[in-house]
Amino acid sequence: MIHIDDNEIGNVTAEQLDQEKNSCMEQLSGDQAFDLIIDCTNSLLDLMVLENIKAIIDSKGRTLVVLVLKSDLDSLAMDWNVVPTQEEAQDFISFERMQRDLGF
């Protein structure tokens, strides 16, 4: 299950997504829109799974950020929002929200 905080930011680990894939995908596909941080610092998800999740999040006009170890920052293509820390992920989402609010 994806934990969604009061700021409408969801947090989930790659391991949780693997173990609870169906319930997580149902939650993502539901009516509630939220930004999402996926923690892949312990294990990377299959690219096809990430692309599916990215498509859902993008369709709702929200932001997906993937946490990876610094040594893995180049493991995803340039069009992915990849950061090494939870704090940077939160900051990235805040910046994206400001841009959306300003119409960029």
Please state the domain extents for the chain: 3-102
Mean of the per-residue pLDDT values for the chain? 93
Please compute the mean of the pLDDT values over residues 76-85 and round it to a whole number.
Answer: 86
How much is the pLDDT for 52? 95
How much is the average pLDDT of 26-38?
A: 97
Phi, psi values for residue 12, rounded to 5°: -155, 150
> Domain 3-102 - what CATH class?
alpha beta
The mean pLDDT value for 74-102 works out to 91
Which pLDDT score, from 0 to 100, does residue 63 have?
Answer: 97
